[in-house]
Amino acid sequence: MARQAPAAEHDDIVESLVARMRAHGDRATPARRLLLQALADKPGHLSAEKLAAEVRARAPGVNITTIYRNLYELERLKVVDRTRPVHGPATYHLASAAHGHLACAECGTVTEIPGRLFASLASQASAQYGFVIEPHRSAVVGLCSGCRR
């Protein structure tokens, strides 16, 4: 339902995130709302440049610098996750449910997988190295089913 209004569906998500920012003393600006909306609307992992394009579709004046500065702040607040693919610019997405990433070295595609697949690795890394892994920030490199052969 509401197939014609995909953006509106995420208004509540955006507002709750704006509230979260304000709780940290950050102000609620149009550019921020639009950035959060772009992150909420687009399921995939987007680069700063792509996100800027999304924001500009509604507010043409927004500079890429603003996008970077807000992404940096959002990352600090753990609202968004930043992942670096094998090649090209870093990608960003809302820090949703626990999950990890499979990044294809060949085609660059990033696939989300449930965080529980990291359970075994997580317990061993913790026990043997005192290292606490954060799957949502990690990209495990390899070859996807399409590029495998």
Partner DNA sequence: CTCTATGCAAATCTTTTGCACGAAC
Partner DNA sequence: GTTCGTGCAAAAGATTTGCATAGAG
Q: Return contacts of 53-62, CB within 8 angstroms, 24+ apart.
A: 55/31, 58/34, 59/30, 59/31, 59/34, 62/31, 62/34
Residue 65 interacting partner from DNA, its own copies, none (CB closer than 5 to 8 Å by kind): DNA
| 30 touching DNA, by CB under 7 A | yes
In whole angstroms, how close is the CB of 15 to its own copies at the nearest point?
Answer: 29
Stretch of 7-15, 60-68, 100-108, 139-147 lying at the interface with DNA (CB under 7 A): 60-68
Residue 27 interacting partner from DNA, its own copies, none (CB closer than 5 to 8 Å by kind): DNA
Residues 6+ apart with CB under 8 A from 18: 28, 32, 33, 36
| Cβ-based nearer residue to DNA, 35 or 122 | 35
Residue 137 interacting partner from DNA, its own copies, none (CB closer than 5 to 8 Å by kind): its own copies
Cβ burial 16-46 (10 Å sphere, 16+ → b, else e): ebbeebeeeeeeeeebbbbbbbbbbeeeebb
Amino acid identity at 135: P
| 27 touching DNA, by CB under 7 A | yes
Rounded CA-CA distance 148/144 in Å is: 6
Rounded CA-CA distance 46/55 in Å is: 12
Residue 89 interacting partner from DNA, its own copies, none (CB closer than 5 to 8 Å by kind): DNA
| 32 touching DNA, by CB under 7 A | yes
| Cβ-based nearer residue to its own copies, 7 or 105 | 105
Q: What is the binding site for DNA (CB under 7 A)?
A: 22, 25-32, 47-49, 59, 61-66, 68-70, 72, 88-90
